[in-house]
Each structure stands twice: as structure tokens, then as C-alpha cells.
Amino acid sequence: MFGNWRIGSVNGALLAAYFIPVWTLVAFNIMVAPVHGLYERPSVAVALFLSDHLQMAGMDTVRAAWLLALGRLTVVAFFAIYLALLCIPRIRKNGGSDEALGIALAIGSLISFASMIMASKVGEMAALRLHATELLLLLGAAIVVVIERPAAAPKIVQRTVEANPPLGLEQAELLHNR
């Protein structure tokens, strides 16, 4: 059953198993109560950076929180698409699901990297560790996807039947050798 699974597919499925529930819960908390959800541990660095360094007002902070939730839900959606495509064996074998995984990894890495930079600017060490860990997970999966390519399809070689048999010792037939 697992003979046609690549390590990149298994790695992507494990990442999706982590990021889909965690980031959905964080995004849902932000959507329900934007300011309260933004000041929870996964997003507190972004909230402190917005209020301290960018000095955003209340409504602007809410808009930034919703934008962060939208970004996280976009990553969750691409991971879900990846898992759906991974269930189809023909697509999994030729690497057709890697595009959805690549988009999820790119957007997720961008969000985690920006959050990590914001956490380092405001001095929030717990959030810095969280975002650095997520970033390393995403970058490690991206490296595996880039390096590991799907197996090439076997090429069908068709030999033509020659009218004349091959010459002995592969000598050319000259006129004076007849």
C-alpha cells in the first residue's frame, strides 16, 4: 500500500496534520474576537509589534488581525487541497499535489518568518521559539519537496526491424569487399 508514497508526500501530510487544526483554531479565535485573539500566544508578537512600533489604532489593529487570520486560513486551505490531491494515487505518483503543498509552504513560511521577526523586535521569547520552530518545519519540508522529484515514467522503446542483418564486427560494407 505504501510502495508508491514518496518521503515528501508523507512529510507534507504530517505538516498538514499539524498546521490545519492549529492554524484554523488560531484564525477562528481571531475572527470571533479580533483583539482578544490577536493577543493570544500564537499572535501576540504581531499584536505587540503593531501597537508598539506601528502605533495602530483600534480599528486598524482589527483589520490587521483579520488579514493575519485570512493568511492563516489560506495556508490551511492549500494544505487541505494538498491532502485531497494526495488521496488520488495517480496524482500522488506523478507529483501533481506538490504545487498546492508548495504554495502552502511559501505563504506559511512568509507568515512565520514575519511573525518571528516581529517577536524578536518586541522581545517575546516564547512567540519567537514558536514561530522559529514553525518556520524550520516549513523550510525543511520545502527542501524535501525541491530535492525529491517524482519517479520518471518509463519510456517505451520500440526497435525497428532491419532488412539487412548487421555486419560481422560492425564493419562497413564497401564496394571492393563484395
**Residue 139 has which C-alpha cell?**
523550510
pLDDT one digit per residue (tens) for the chain, 178 residues = 556 678 888 899 999 999 999 999 999 999 999 989 988 888 999 999 988 888 888 888 899 999 999 999 999 999 999 999 998 888 888 888 889 999 999 999 999 999 999 999 999 999 999 999 999 999 999 999 899 876 666 667 666 655 666 655 666 666 665 5
Question: What pTM does this model have?
Answer: 0.79
**Distances from the Cα of 77 to the Cαs of 58, 63, 172, in angstroms?**
28, 21, 65
Task: State the sign of the Cα–Cα–Cα–Cα dihedral 58, 59, 61, 62.
Answer: positive
HSE at residue 7, side-chain half, CA atoms within 13 A, is 10
Residue 162 CA from chain centroid, whole number: 51
SS3 159: coil
Contacts of 105 (CB under 8 A, 6+ apart): 15, 138, 139, 141, 142, 145
* 109 touches 72 (CB < 8 A): no
Among 105, 131, 106, 134, smallest CA distance to 118 is for 131
HSE at residue 138, side-chain half, CA atoms within 13 A, is 22
